[in-house]
Structure 1
Amino acid sequence: MSVDLDEIRRIRAEADCLCSAQQVETALDTLAQQITARLGDSNPLVYTVMNGGLIFAGRLLPRLAFPLETAYLHATRYGHRTTGTLLDWRVRPTQDLRGRSVLILDDILDEGHTLAAIIEHLKSEGAREVLTAVLVHKSHDRKAYPGMRADFSGLDVEDRFLFGCGMDYKGYWRNTDGIYAVKGL
């Protein structure tokens, strides 16, 4: 598969900036304060959902000044299912979760079906509690269940095709500092 780098560059050049780098930094600081207040004394295990959560985790974790363990997982839903816990695990959780507080970090809560299935799986493995943190909450009514939100959300963003801060356009621009929307989408 050949990538048209001119198209990739054009998408970034024409994109609408929805949240500036400074707004992202402020959101990260606020998230860190909220997470510290809730989990600072609980010895949590923090899972990053790959690949989108990588940039978010790399920017958030240094702001959490309390003892924690980190790990990662990588899961996608099977086919076109929209409910249930059937996941295609690329990398499964490997730590013993029994009795642990677990925090899941991901870049965005869009529809949330995969995140809901990951939560269910971690609970079934014995986690005492499973909390979620996302940089972006996409505003729409197509969530996995009505009113679904992460326990910690940084920025509420309109329902558009987003990239930046871990979110990608055709595998590119995860490394962009702000949150951008593809022009016209």
Structure 2
Amino acid sequence: MSSISLHNKQFAPYLPAAEITTAVQELGARLNADYADKQPLFVAVLNGSFMFAADLMKEMHVPCEIAFIRVASYEGTSTTGEVKEILGLREEIEGRHIVILEDIVDTGHTMRALLQTLRAKQPASLEVATLFIKPECLQHELDIRYIGLSIPNEFIVGYGLDYDGLGRNFPDVYKAF
């Protein structure tokens, strides 16, 4: 892993792909155990969670489905604080076991709004599985049961996360410097 340049920013190596793979496998094992008899619907939040969702689905050994939604709250390297739903969920979720798949939870604005919207549709259960969480950034109290890696407040790219559209394709994760 060597440093990369995206737009006008430099990024240093942070987390190798092997560490991410281990975190995804551990999440998969927990979800398989917890949803063994429930046939969950995984709701992946695009665009950032696409790699995480794909790799996690490969770890799932229980009957399950996946759907995709798209929300946005970022511009550049900072959150706008405003959540905009771009592409909505078409599947009926009432009475179903739902697991939201998110790449990263930092302020919690997006996740709070998403949980509120989905709870109104009366699922049987509603949980969040996030690959990354930044505890020191959280501005909302969220009960997130499935966390891959807890990280400090660093702006990261790679493994689906981007900086203004670039960097999602890297298997490793890099942090801004």
TM-score normalised according to structure 1 size: 0.83
| Distance in 1 between residues matched to 2:29 and 2:154, nearest whole Å | 28
Amino-acid identity (%): 25
RMSD value over aligned CA atoms? 2.3
| Distance in 1 between residues matched to 2:153 and 2:160, nearest whole Å | 17
Displaced runs of 4 or more, over 3 A: 79-82
| Distance in 1 between residues matched to 2:58 and 2:151, nearest whole Å | 24
User: What is the match of residue 161 of structure 1?
Assistant: 155
Deviation larger for 68-77 or 108-117: 68-77
CA displacement 1:71-106 (0-9 Å, x = unmatched): 1011235x9556xxxx53211111111111100101
Q: Counterparts of 1:21-170 in structure 2 under 5 Å? A: 21-76=17-72, 81=81, 87-140=83-136, 142-146=137-141, 148=142, 150-170=144-164
Letter in 2 for 1:107: D
3-state SS of the aligned residue for 1:49? strand
3-state SS of the aligned residue for 2:129? strand
Q: Residues 18 and 157 of structure 1 are in contact (CA less than 8 Å); yes or no, is this contact kept in structure 2?
A: no
Gaps of 5+ in 1: 1-5
Gaps of 5+ in 2: 74-78
Letter in 2 for 1:8: L
What is the CA-CA distance between 1:34 and the residue it aligns to? 0.9
| Distance in 2 between residues matched to 1:9 and 1:125, nearest whole Å | 40
Aligned residues: 170
| Distance in 1 between residues matched to 2:167 and 2:67, nearest whole Å | 24
User: What is the match of residue 178 of structure 1?
Assistant: 172
What is the CA-CA distance between 1:15 and the residue it aligns to? 2.4
Q: Residues 116 and 144 of structure 1 are in contact (CA less than 8 Å); yes or no, is this contact kept in structure 2?
A: no
User: What is the match of residue 3 of structure 1?
Assistant: none
Letter in 2 for 1:144: Q
Q: Residues 5 and 11 of structure 2 are in contact (CA less than 8 Å); yes or no, is this contact kept in structure 1?
A: no
Q: Residues 112 and 140 of structure 2 are in contact (CA less than 8 Å); yes or no, is this contact kept in structure 1?
A: no
What is the CA-CA distance between 1:125 and the residue it aligns to? 0.7
Letter in 1 for 2:96: R
